[in-house]
Amino acid sequence: MIDFGSNLWASSTFSLFIGVLLGAFYFAGLWWTVRQLGRSQYTAGLFLLSLLVRTCVVVMTFYVFLGHDWRQLLLGLLGFFVMRLFATRCIQLKNTQALAPATLSAKEAASQQRKR
């Protein structure tokens, strides 16, 4: 465990940083797993194994690095949830951008059908 003593800024920054890194690891792993499910023959096994590995890494890292102080643990969880919000916003933005050309082409096709 890392002890910052009375340096509140260093411990807070470290806790947030660890939370963001763990969030990035967890949600990148989830994204990878979901993309692999279509190619895998053992979808349930892949999903469960990925879930167990991601969860164990996150929980153990929270315990080892942030488990000795409840304030650091809360700041780490805040960083984790900030990364969750960031990941969901990026996915929503990517999905709306992917759907936009299809929607425009459908409108164009409808207008061309009316002209005929």
SS (HEC) of 71-113: HHHHHHHHHHHHHHHHHHHHHHHHHHHHHHHHHHHHHHHHHHH
What integer pLDDT is reported at residue 51 of this predicted model?
97
pTM, to two decimals:
0.76
What integer pLDDT is reported at residue 3 of this predicted model?
64
pLDDT in tens, the chain (116 residues): 666 667 888 889 999 999 999 999 999 999 999 999 989 899 999 999 999 999 999 999 999 988 888 889 999 999 999 999 999 998 888 878 776 665 556 566 566 666 65
What integer pLDDT is reported at residue 66 of this predicted model?
86
What integer pLDDT is reported at residue 94 of this predicted model?
81
What integer pLDDT is reported at residue 113 of this predicted model?
62
Residue ranges per structural domain of the chain: 8-86
Handedness of CA 70, 75, 76, 80 (dihedral sign): positive
